[in-house]
Chain A
Amino acid sequence: MSTVLSNSTEEARVGSPANIAAAKRGVGSRLRQFNVPAGLGGWIWLAIIIIPVYYVVITSLKTQEGYFGQNPLALPTSPTLENYQLVLEADFATYFMNSSIVTIGSVVPAVLVSFMASFAIVRGSGRFLKLVNGLFLMGLAIPLQATIIPIYLMIIRLNLYDSLLALMLPSVAFAIPLTVLILSNFIRDVPNELFESMRLDGCSEWQIMWRLALPLTRPAIVTVAIYNGLHVWNGFLLPLVLTQSPVLRVLPLGLWTFQGEYSVNIPAVLASVVLSTLPILVLYVVGRRQLLSGLTAGFSK
């Protein structure tokens, strides 16, 4: 069998002696199966990732005495949920609600207006649309943080300072360029015949957009929604600058102030870290593939 194979390869690749190739192939595939250095590196990296996570979780279940008395990496002798209770009493439910409102209130309008714009950019023509598309592409190069001072000024002048709406409006604007880019790439992939046949049926562009383009781009919409959602959920600078009241804190800001107030109670601080991550962890467990593709939304093309 192997002679037949190596003969055919010899014909295909002139100049490589068949038996040497065959011998090395054996070695090569065995090496790939038991790639010791790669495996070792993989486990070392796992340790680097897992030890901090493990430490955070077990410490959050320890009592203060356990934290001071036990080995830091030992499992808690008497696990307790009192830290979590303390965190919940410190208004984390409110922070969670605020984060949810801001995230949904930013992602839904951002995806909606971006989808409409993408449809127009792909299906329409004319100078104006080209200009708009160019503007959005340029927008990809604006770093949000650098515009925080004028945004602060505008939010004050609009009488929106210290409101959740103040966090949503800039978030929508900054989500638009990338969302438009990804969605228009997807709409472009819809076969033209589908658009044509709907037009022949007498549908308006408005109907085509909702009945054809929207269902066909659903996977991309989920992806960009997750991408934008994570950014807003974990965002820190906008809430830090644009809000002030404790009742308006979003989770990352709540975390930060909580660790400032409870700096002596490390188990409680770490419980707040775990609790603030829990919603996304649930999402990760339920829809890992969706979440991961959402994270890199179109980056690994």
Chain B
Amino acid sequence: MSNAVSTAPTTAAARTESEQTGKRRAALAWLTLPALFFFLVFAVVPLAGVFILSFTSWDGIGAIGAAGLGNWFSVLADPGLYNALGLTFLIMAASWLVQTPISLLLGVFTAGSQRYRAALAVLYFLPLLLSSAAVAIAFKALLDPNFGLATGLGLPFLAQDWLGVPHLALGLAIFVIAWQFVPFHTLIYQGGVRQIPKSLYEAAEIDGAGTIKQFFHITLPQLKYTIITSSTLMVVGSLTYFDLIFVLTGGGPGNSTRILALDMYLRGFRANLMGPASVIAVILVLIGLALALFLQRLGGKDKQGSQLEGL
């Protein structure tokens, strides 16, 4: 049996396989069943479920009743939705603007060959180890006006009511998000920089290009795909900053940091309005898909895989 199979592939073109191999290959399908089971039950069904629940009314405990388009009308007419949408996009844009240049520069910096840079990198990556809850709790203590940084460093301007004033709380959230996620993107850029061929820099140096010219004419263009990957993760990831903001501000003061994901949680699990919360969830899914598709377009089709990772 194995003789007949073995001689065929070596002579024939790679595409044509004996019937036996074909059967054997199709028979492998069952190996996907366990993964498929988990994925269908706990990902595909919930995704369909969230669309269905957006047309029902449910308090989280009792019976589920039909609500038609009622939830959609009430949520779309609710200024709270537009507040949350605006905040979500504001935090998304601000996070991108703050994190991208810092991570890019730090990525280039830590990819350098000097010893002290490698040593600094070890410390730079420390925030990656902390959970969002831990980071938020640490910063709450750190920003205590009397017993935190302001007193420690002797910088009175740090002694603000960070969690009590809307625009300060928003700025704080953006800063803490950057503190937590810049290391991750630094790591991505570091990997990207290390893959740029050394010969490009050698050639540029022979041509007399200085460090700054090299950065703008070699490093930046060569990092194009890395920038797109990092931006995709950053932008789509910003839809899910739930944990950090939930522990840090709880959405407050007022609703000034109540982003979409938080709005969904508070409507669903605090106000016990699962129907309207599902409407918000559907909106979240749609925004996520739209962003992923848009950013994938930017990157070209062949890089599809790495663009979509981590959504």
**A residues within 8 Å of B by Cβ?**
9, 12-13, 16, 20-21, 24-25, 27-29, 31-32, 35, 38, 41-43, 45-46, 48-53, 55-56, 59, 67-68, 71-74, 109-110, 112-114, 116-117, 119-121, 123-126, 128-129, 132, 135-137, 139-154, 169-170, 172-174, 176-178, 180-182, 185, 196, 199-200, 202, 205, 209, 233-234, 236-237, 241, 251-253, 255-256, 259, 266, 269-270, 273, 276-277, 280-281, 284, 288, 292, 295-301
Question: Number of contacting residues on B, CB 8 A?
Answer: 116
Give the shortest distance, in Å, between A114 (CB) and chain B (any CB). Answer: 6
Cross-chain contact A143 with B285 (CB below 8 angstroms): yes
Contacts A13-B206, A173-B42, A299-B233 hold; do A147 and B49 have CB atoms under 8 A apart? yes
User: Which residues from B are CB-within-8-Å of A299?
Assistant: 188, 191, 229-230, 233, 306, 309-310
Query: Can you give 20 contacting A-B residue pairs, CB < 8 Å?
Result: A9-B206, A13-B207, A45-B102, A52-B142, A52-B179, A59-B141, A123-B25, A140-B308, A142-B47, A150-B50, A152-B269, A181-B305, A199-B2, A200-B2, A252-B133, A284-B125, A292-B125, A295-B128, A299-B309, A300-B191
Cross-chain contact A16 with B208 (CB below 8 angstroms): yes
Cross-chain contact B127 with A49 (CB below 8 angstroms): yes
Complex Cα–Cα for A297 and B25 (A): 29
Complex Cα–Cα for A16 and B246 (A): 59
Complex Cα–Cα for A281 and B261 (A): 29
Complex Cα–Cα for A301 and B282 (A): 32
B5 at interface (Cβ–Cβ under 8 A)? yes
> Which residue on chain A has the smallest CB distance to residue B147?
A72
Known: A140-B310, A280-B129, A300-B189. 16 other contacts (CB 8 A): A12-B206, A42-B117, A68-B147, A120-B30, A121-B32, A125-B22, A132-B29, A142-B47, A143-B240, A146-B288, A153-B49, A154-B41, A196-B9, A255-B134, A299-B191, A300-B187
User: Which residues from A are CB-within-8-Å of B274?
Assistant: 149, 153
Contacts A13-B207, A169-B42, A269-B141 hold; do A117 and B120 have CB atoms under 8 A apart? no
B31 at interface (Cβ–Cβ under 8 A)? yes
Contacts A129-B32, A277-B134 hold; do A28 and B208 have CB atoms under 8 A apart? yes
Give the shortest distance, in Å, between A203 (CB) and chain B (any CB). Answer: 10
Give the shortest distance, in Å, between B216 (CB) and chain A (any CB). Answer: 14
Contacts A114-B35, A146-B264 hold; do A21 and B208 have CB atoms under 8 A apart? yes
Binding site secondary structure of chain B: helix
B131 at interface (Cβ–Cβ under 8 A)? yes
Contact residue among B6, B46, B105 (Cβ-Cβ distance under 8 Å from A151)? B46
B242 at interface (Cβ–Cβ under 8 A)? yes
Of listed A143, A149, A202, A253, residue having the most chain B CB within 10 A? A149
Contacts A45-B102, A149-B268 hold; do A125 and B138 have CB atoms under 8 A apart? no
Cross-chain contact A200 with B28 (CB below 8 angstroms): no
Bitwise, B130-155 to A at CB < 8 A (1) or not (0) is 11111001111110100111011100
Binding site secondary structure of chain A: helix
Contact residue among A31, A46, A144, A276 (Cβ-Cβ distance under 8 Å from B124)? A46
Give the shortest distance, in Å, between A233 (CB) and chain B (any CB). Answer: 7
B13 at interface (Cβ–Cβ under 8 A)? no
Q: Which of B48-81 contact A (CB under 8 A)?
A: 48-50, 53, 58, 60
Cross-chain contact B179 with A139 (CB below 8 angstroms): no
B292 at interface (Cβ–Cβ under 8 A)? yes
Complex Cα–Cα for A231 and B131 (A): 9
Complex Cα–Cα for A136 and B25 (A): 20
Cross-chain contact B42 with A185 (CB below 8 angstroms): no
Cross-chain contact B311 with A140 (CB below 8 angstroms): yes
Complex Cα–Cα for A31 and B213 (A): 12
B24 at interface (Cβ–Cβ under 8 A)? yes
Contacts A28-B205, A28-B209, A143-B311 hold; do A55 and B102 have CB atoms under 8 A apart? no
Q: Which of B189-238 contact A (CB under 8 A)?
A: 189-192, 195, 203, 205-211, 226, 229-230, 233, 236
Contacts A21-B206, A125-B26, A236-B133 hold; do A296 and B42 have CB atoms under 8 A apart? no
User: Which residues from A are CB-within-8-Å of B163?
Assistant: none
B38 at interface (Cβ–Cβ under 8 A)? yes
Complex Cα–Cα for A114 and B127 (A): 29
Cross-chain contact A154 with B46 (CB below 8 angstroms): yes
Cross-chain contact A32 with B211 (CB below 8 angstroms): yes
Bitwise, B262-297 to A at CB < 8 A (1) or not (0) is 001100110000100110011011001100100000
Complex Cα–Cα for A52 and B284 (A): 33
Contacts A35-B211, A124-B26, A185-B305 hold; do A296 and B5 have CB atoms under 8 A apart? no
Contacts A42-B117, A300-B226 hold; do A178 and B310 have CB atoms under 8 A apart? yes
Complex Cα–Cα for A12 and B190 (A): 31
Cross-chain contact B50 with A295 (CB below 8 angstroms): no
Give the shortest distance, in Å, between A75 (CB) and chain B (any CB). Answer: 12
Cross-chain contact A266 with B147 (CB below 8 angstroms): yes
User: Which residues from A are CB-within-8-Å of B284?
Assistant: 143, 145-146
Cross-chain contact B53 with A149 (CB below 8 angstroms): yes
